[in-house]
């Protein structure tokens, strides 16, 4: 059995999918795993180090030291940092030429580069000879109980979830969200925004007592609890090089929770959604309002689409992915010898 440390760049949402959960999944198979933003003091006793987006100056120096010490190095990426969208000014400033140069060098000396999607892998293969795709997943217990959308005249909750770095995608659906929040129906319609503040929502033009913003939710279990209240989930994205390489994480989360998802018709979501069967795809802005009204009016449709998606989520649980992580972190016998 291997001793593996997942060296996270931070403990934000991506670290949960690319460090915390893989470490947990490997422990189920009997491996010794740790996870954190620092290397353990006894790092010399570990077989494999999985470094998440190692690119800063000091971590890069340590990466080279780990290589010299004979550790198996896996560099994991969950986004295309070589094509940062200019609208994300902060990220574009952080991921400057020097930062990208260090990232490319660290990928080159790693034994393996892992990432979450095949389009991202296609970009990374320009910088590293060995790249493997391991999709994001969630533990099976998040599948929970089947939802019942047909009971009662309670409010219908329409939701969006993101961060300050993905808020630039939200304007794609702002007009439709404002309209649906005022839609007359028994019980009403409430719009819930998870991950941004009320001030940010208002700055985008989202206003009204039926629209609420929860702000940043740090712990993943609290985040999943918050979004589990959605009856309809909106995932607007612009068609940009950065977004084309993304993993459809909102599809994963909505499917596991049995929530019908409306997503922009971008490559990431087109790969997993069959329009009208296990979700909905939007090509033009006016389609957001049309699909939201249709789903608000039809609880049986919400039930059918949400449950179809949930039924397909079993392939996205960590219990179905942990052997792929095991194959990645295992030190080859000839090297171990």
Q: What pLDDT tens digit does each residue of the chain (337 aa) get?
A: 899 999 999 887 789 999 999 999 999 999 999 999 999 999 999 999 999 999 999 999 999 999 999 999 999 999 999 999 888 888 999 999 999 999 999 999 999 999 999 999 999 999 999 999 999 999 988 887 777 887 677 899 999 999 877 888 999 999 999 999 999 988 899 999 999 899 999 999 998 888 898 888 878 888 998 999 999 999 999 999 999 999 999 999 999 999 999 999 999 999 999 999 999 999 999 999 999 999 999 999 999 999 999 999 888 889 889 999 999 998 775 544 4
Q: What is the pLDDT at residue 337?
A: 43
> Residue 124's domain spans which residues?
3-137+318-336
Helices marked H in 95-142: 97-109, 118-124
CA–CA separation, 238 and 170 (whole Å): 9
CA–CA separation, 93 and 97 (whole Å): 9
Same domain, 120 and 167: no
Q: What is the pLDDT at residue 108?
A: 97
Asked if 83 contacts 245 with a C-beta cutoff of 8 angstroms, the reply is yes
CA–CA separation, 188 and 247 (whole Å): 33
Q: What is the pLDDT at residue 333?
A: 56
Q: What angle do CA 43, 49, 53 make, to 5 degrees?
A: 125
Q: What is the pLDDT at residue 46?
A: 97
Closest CA to 279 of 256, 252, 257, 306: 306
- Per-residue burial over 143-165, b = 16 or more CB atoms within 10 Å of its CB, e = otherwise: beeebebeeeeeebbbbbbbeeb
CA–CA separation, 263 and 236 (whole Å): 6
Same domain, 128 and 79: yes
Beta bridge partners of 74: 50, 112
Domains contained in the chain, number: 2
Same domain, 178 and 225: yes
CATH number at residue 193: 3.40.50.2000
Same domain, 165 and 17: no
How far does the chain reach from its first CA to its final CA, in angstroms?
Answer: 14
Give this prediction's pTM.
0.92
Same domain, 162 and 298: yes
Asked if 243 contacts 215 with a C-beta cutoff of 8 angstroms, the reply is no
Same domain, 332 and 250: no
Tokens 């049309």 correspond to what residue? 290
Same domain, 132 and 64: yes
Same domain, 32 and 55: yes
Same domain, 278 and 165: yes
Same domain, 20 and 85: yes
Same domain, 178 and 233: yes
Asked if 23 contacts 33 with a C-beta cutoff of 8 angstroms, the reply is yes
Same domain, 332 and 311: no
The string of DSSP codes covering 250-274 is HHHHHHHHT--EEEE--HHHHTT--
């Amino acid at each position: 059995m291997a001793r593996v440390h997942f060296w996270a760049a931070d403990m934000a949402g991506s670290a949960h999918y690319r460090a915390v959960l893989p470490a947990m999944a490997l422990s189920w198979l009997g491996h010794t795993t740790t996870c954190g933003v620092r290397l353990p003091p006894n790092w010399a006793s570990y077989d494999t180090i999985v470094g998440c987006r190692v690119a800063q100056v000091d971590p890069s120096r340590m990466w080279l030291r780990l290589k010299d010490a004979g550790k198996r190095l896996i560099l994991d990426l969950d986004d295309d940092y070589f094509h940062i969208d200019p609208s994300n000014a902060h990220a574009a400033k952080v991921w400057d030429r020097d930062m990208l140069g260090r990232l490319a060098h660290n990928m080159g000396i790693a034994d393996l580069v892992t990432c979450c999607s095949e389009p991202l892998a296609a970009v990374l293969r320009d910088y590293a000879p060995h790249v493997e795709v391991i999709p994001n997943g969630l533990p099976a217990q998040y599948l929970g109980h089947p939802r019942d959308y047909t009971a009662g005249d309670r409010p219908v909750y329409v939701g969006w979830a993101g961060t300050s770095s993905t808020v630039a995608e939200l304007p794609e659906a702002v007009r439709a969200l404002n309209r649906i929040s005022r839609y007359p129906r028994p019980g009403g319609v409430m719009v819930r925004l998870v991950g941004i503040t009320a001030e940010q929502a208002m700055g985008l033009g989202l206003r009204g007592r039926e629209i609420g913003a929860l702000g940043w939710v740090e712990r993943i279990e609290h985040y999943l609890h918050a979004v589990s209240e959605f009856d309809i989930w909106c995932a607007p994205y612009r068609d940009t090089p950065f977004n084309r390489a993304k993993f459809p994480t909102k599809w994963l989360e909505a499917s596991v929770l049995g929530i019908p998802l409306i997503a922009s018709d971008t490559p990431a979501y087109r790969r997993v959604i069959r329009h009208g069967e296990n979700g909905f795809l939007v090509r033009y802005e006016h389609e957001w309002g049309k699909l939201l009204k249709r789903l608000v009016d039809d609880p049986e449709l919400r039930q059918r689409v949400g449950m179809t998606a949930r039924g397909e989520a079993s392939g996205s649980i960590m219990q179905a992915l942990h052997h792929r992580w095991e194959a990645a972190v295992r030190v080859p016998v000839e090297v171990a010898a």
